Amino acid sequence: MQEDVVWKSKLDRHYTVRVVRTAPYRGELSITESEADQLLHKREVALMYNALFGPDADDVSEWQRIAIEFADSRK
Protein backbone atom coordinates (compact mmCIF):
# COMPACT_ATOMS: atom_id res chain seq x y z
CA MET A 1 0.00 0.00 0.00
CA GLN A 2 1.36 3.40 -0.98
CA GLU A 3 1.47 6.10 1.69
CA ASP A 4 -0.53 9.27 1.08
CA VAL A 5 2.05 11.93 1.98
CA VAL A 6 0.27 15.23 2.58
CA TRP A 7 3.34 17.31 3.47
CA LYS A 8 7.08 16.82 3.75
CA SER A 9 9.88 19.17 4.78
CA LYS A 10 13.49 19.29 5.97
CA LEU A 11 14.37 20.97 9.26
CA ASP A 12 17.88 22.18 10.05
CA ARG A 13 19.22 19.93 7.26
CA HIS A 14 19.10 17.17 9.86
CA TYR A 15 15.44 16.13 10.27
CA THR A 16 12.81 15.04 7.78
CA VAL A 17 9.29 15.93 8.85
CA ARG A 18 6.27 14.51 7.06
CA VAL A 19 2.57 14.04 7.46
CA VAL A 20 0.89 10.95 6.04
CA ARG A 21 -2.91 10.65 5.77
CA THR A 22 -4.17 7.81 7.98
CA ALA A 23 -7.94 8.41 7.80
CA PRO A 24 -10.32 11.15 6.68
CA TYR A 25 -9.28 14.37 8.42
CA ARG A 26 -6.47 12.57 10.31
CA GLY A 27 -2.78 12.12 9.69
CA GLU A 28 0.43 11.04 11.35
CA LEU A 29 3.32 13.46 11.71
CA SER A 30 6.72 11.79 11.87
CA ILE A 31 10.18 13.20 12.46
CA THR A 32 13.19 11.19 11.36
CA GLU A 33 16.91 11.80 11.26
CA SER A 34 17.56 12.44 7.60
CA GLU A 35 20.82 10.51 7.21
CA ALA A 36 20.03 7.51 9.40
CA ASP A 37 16.32 7.39 8.48
CA GLN A 38 15.67 6.68 12.17
CA LEU A 39 12.21 7.52 13.53
CA LEU A 40 12.55 9.93 16.44
CA HIS A 41 8.99 11.13 17.05
CA LYS A 42 5.47 10.58 15.76
CA ARG A 43 2.04 11.80 16.69
CA GLU A 44 -1.48 12.03 15.31
CA VAL A 45 -2.50 15.35 13.76
CA ALA A 46 -5.62 16.82 12.19
CA LEU A 47 -6.03 17.54 8.49
CA MET A 48 -8.18 20.62 8.04
CA TYR A 49 -10.64 20.22 5.13
CA ASN A 50 -9.20 16.69 4.76
CA ALA A 51 -6.29 18.31 2.84
CA LEU A 52 -8.08 17.53 -0.41
CA PHE A 53 -6.13 20.11 -2.41
CA GLY A 54 -3.00 20.08 -0.26
CA PRO A 55 -2.39 21.03 3.34
CA ASP A 56 -4.01 24.09 4.86
CA ALA A 57 -1.61 26.89 5.82
CA ASP A 58 -2.74 26.74 9.46
CA ASP A 59 -2.03 23.00 9.58
CA VAL A 60 1.45 23.53 8.13
CA SER A 61 2.16 26.23 10.72
CA GLU A 62 1.13 23.86 13.51
CA TRP A 63 3.24 21.00 12.10
CA GLN A 64 6.24 23.31 11.81
CA ARG A 65 5.75 24.42 15.42
CA ILE A 66 5.64 20.79 16.59
CA ALA A 67 8.80 19.94 14.65
CA ILE A 68 10.72 23.00 15.85
CA GLU A 69 9.80 22.37 19.48
CA PHE A 70 10.94 18.77 19.12
CA ALA A 71 14.26 19.76 17.50
CA ASP A 72 14.88 22.46 20.11
CA SER A 73 14.26 19.99 22.94
CA ARG A 74 17.05 17.73 21.62
CA LYS A 75 19.76 20.41 21.72
For 42, 52, 57, 58, the CA distances from 71, given in Å and listed in that order, are: 13, 29, 21, 20
pLDDT at position 73, please? 95
Average pLDDT over residues 47-73: 96
CA dist 74 and 4 (Å) reads 28
- Structural domain range at position 50: 5-73
12, pLDDT greater than 90: yes
Total count of domains within the chain: 1
Integer Cα distance of 55 and 62 in angstroms: 11
CA angle, residues 42, 66, 41, in degrees to nearest 5 = 20
Quote the pLDDT of residue 35: 87
Q: Mean of the per-residue pLDDT values for the chain?
A: 95
